[in-house]
């Protein structure tokens, strides 16, 4: 993600990914002012910082990643990018640290054991957003019990996905992407398909930086039907690697 010189990127990058589920009412601030600040491309890092803490699922991960890597600020761009896209920072967080986290304590209230919640981390997964989607949220468990389309679509939309731009209009972009496929127990990525996604609030220039343009062939991230960020080739590989390791780990959970 590009920005003007001197502007903190981390909080703004966080808001870009957090906006889609917040707009749907799934997480983050519920008041009109807070939701407006998360949605606006004109919000400042100072305005975003207190709101980021209201994302109760994402914030503990940012804290764990920052602490394990000796980074003081959970909204440091490196931490935010690691959580949403992926990087080597994720693999420096000991699974034991997650076992002691507020996330696990919260989920235990619903009858899930520490072992169940952390199994994928001890079998190759990393503390990426997609780990939370596939392992902490209950939807994969529901899918395995009911084999229903609804939970699969929630998993598909909630995870951070990559796509490649094939056409651009004033308010939407067509991309090719690989959807989740369910085989009765495990998840994998299916054949490429074409889908249309929304551009984020503000302009394409606001997404990429002044004077920059989204182009056909660009790699982008997708979250709940919105385009979040343009990726470099190396960033795509990081997202693909994190997703692959997490899917392998959750698929290995004993039946």
CATH class of 158-251: mainly beta
- Residue ranges in the chain whose pLDDT is less than 50: 2-6, 203-206, 210-211
pLDDT single digits (tens) 118-138? 999 999 999 999 999 999 999
Cβ atoms of 209 and 2 within 8 Å: the answer is yes
Q: What is the pLDDT of residue 108?
A: 81
Q: What is the pLDDT of residue 245?
A: 98
| pTM, 2 dp | 0.93
Instruction: Provide the percentage of residues in the chain whose pLDDT is more than 90.
Output: 79
18 vs 15: CA distance, rounded Å: 5
Q: What is the pLDDT of residue 212?
A: 63
pLDDT single digits (tens) 4-18? 444 589 999 999 999
In the chain, where the domains are located: 10-146, 158-251
Buried b (16+ CB within 10 A) or exposed e, 188-224: eeeeeeeeebebbbeebebbbeeeeebeeebbbbbbb
């Amino acid at each position: 993600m590009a920005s003007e010189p001197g502007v903190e990127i981390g909080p703004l990058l966080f808001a870009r990914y957090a906006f889609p589920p917040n707009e749907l009412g799934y997480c983050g601030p519920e008041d009109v002012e807070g939701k407006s600040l998360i949605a606006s491309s004109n919000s400042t890092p100072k305005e975003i910082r207190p709101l980021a803490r209201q994302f109760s699922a994402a914030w503990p991960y940012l804290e764990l990643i920052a602490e394990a890597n000796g980074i003081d600020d959970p909204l440091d761009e490196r931490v935010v990018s690691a959580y949403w896209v992926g990087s080597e920072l994720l693999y420096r967080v000991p699974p034991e640290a997650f076992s002691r986290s507020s996330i696990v304590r919260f989920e235990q209230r619903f009858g899930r054991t520490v072992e169940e919640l952390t199994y994928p981390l001890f079998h190759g997964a990393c503390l990426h957003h997609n780990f939370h989607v596939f392992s902490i949220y209950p939807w994969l468990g529901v899918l395995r019990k009911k084999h229903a389309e609804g939970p699969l679509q929630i998993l598909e939309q909630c995870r951070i996905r990559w796509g490649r731009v094939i056409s651009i209009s004033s308010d939407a972009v067509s991309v090719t992407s690989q959807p989740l496929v369910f085989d009765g127990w495990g998840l994998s990525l299916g054949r490429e398909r074409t889908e249309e996604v929304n551009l984020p609030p503000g302009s394409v220039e606001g997404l990429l930086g002044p004077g920059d343009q989204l182009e056909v062939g660009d790699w982008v991230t997708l979250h709940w039907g919105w385009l979040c960020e343009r990726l470099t080739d190396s960033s795509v590989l990081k997202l693909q690697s994190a997703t692959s390791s997490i899917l392998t780990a959750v698929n290995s959970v004993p039946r």
